[in-house]
Amino acid sequence: MEWSPQQARERFAASRVARLATVDKKGQPHLVPVVFAVYDGTVAIPVDGRPETAYRLGWMLDIEANPRVSLLVDDHGEDPERSWWARADGEALVEHSGPAWEEARERLAERYQRYRDEPPGEVMILVAVHHWSGWSARDPARP
């Protein structure tokens, strides 16, 4: 059953980990697991636990070259009747400071205890979501 954009956004936002998909200069896809916070039309992704050169990571270079990204959360466990996925498609921006960066840090601290104890590092990925989509094997209103 296909979900409305609102249903997909809600299920996505309730998840704890997503996979971020980027494409490199040669057209090769690249996936990395990320934690995130969803607010307004934004998905904020911290780049933490890295040295100052974090913005030189391959997937961050991908974003600088081609900001179009997708994020996916899903559950395809033992029971196929409970399978579902939700996806956010948008444009990503690498931020190092400023009001949007500060808001992202605050939103991540609200969501994850570890960021209340130690705020995310200097680099943040902000994805402006243009399209939410999702699907489940059954009605998402049913548990």
For the entire predicted model, the pTM comes to 0.89
Residue 54 has pLDDT above 70, yes or no: no
| Per-residue pLDDT tens over the stretch 88-139 | 999 999 998 999 999 999 999 999 999 998 888 788 999 999 999 999 987 6
The mean pLDDT value for 4-16 works out to 95
Q: What is the dihedral of CA 85, 33, 20, 65, to 10 degrees?
A: -170
What is 5-136's CATH superfamily? Electron Transport, Fmn-binding Protein; Chain A (2.30.110.10)
Cβ density class 84-97: b for 16+ within 10 Å, e for less: bbbbbbbebbbbee
pLDDT(72) > 60? yes
